[in-house]
Amino acid sequence: MPRITLADIARVLNLPAPPEASRLITGIAALTDARPGDLTMITSDAYLKQFAKTQATAVIAQRKVRLPGGGKIIFAVDDVEAAMANVLPLFAPPIQRPAPGIDPSAKISESARLGPGSAVAANAVIGQRTILGARVFLHPGVVIGDDVTLGDDCEIYPNVVIRERVTIGHRVSIHAGSVIGSDGFGYRWDGKQHAKVPQIGTVVIEDDVEIGSCVCIDRAKFGATRIGRGTKIDNLVQVAHNVEIGPHSIIVGQTGIAGSAKLGTGVILGGQTAVRDHITIGDGAVVAARSAIANNVPPKTTVSGMPALPHRQSLREQAALRRLPELILQVRRMQEELDALKKKP
DSSP run (H or E) holding 126: strand 125-126
Q: What pLDDT was estimated at residue 94?
A: 87
Q: What pLDDT was estimated at residue 303?
A: 96
Q: What pLDDT was estimated at residue 1?
A: 61
Q: What pLDDT was estimated at residue 207?
A: 98
Among 146, 48, 157, 40, CA closest to 98: 157
How far apart, in Å, are the Cα atoms of 126 and each of 113, 144, 149, 151, 288? 9, 5, 11, 15, 40
Residue by residue, DSSP assigns 180-216 as: EEEPP--EEE-SSSEEEPP---EEEE-TT-EE-TT-E
Q: What pLDDT was estimated at residue 169?
A: 98
Is 0.85 topped by the overall pTM? yes
Q: What pLDDT was estimated at residue 144?
A: 98
| Angle value at C-alpha 130, between 125 and 135, nearest 5 degrees | 80
Q: What pLDDT was estimated at residue 39?
A: 96
- Residues with catalytic function: 241
Q: What is the pLDDT along the chain (345 residues), one digit of tens a residue?
A: 678 999 999 999 999 999 889 999 999 999 999 999 999 999 999 999 999 999 999 999 999 998 887 789 999 999 999 999 999 999 998 888 998 999 999 999 999 999 999 999 999 999 999 999 999 999 999 999 999 999 999 999 999 999 999 999 999 999 999 999 999 999 999 999 999 999 999 999 999 999 999 999 999 999 999 999 999 999 999 999 999 999 999 999 999 999 999 999 999 999 999 999 999 999 999 999 999 999 999 999 999 998 988 888 888 888 888 888 888 898 898 988 888 888 876
Whether the CB-CB separation of 12 and 25 falls below 8 Å is answered with no
According to DSSP, the residues that pair with 195 across neighbouring strands are: 188
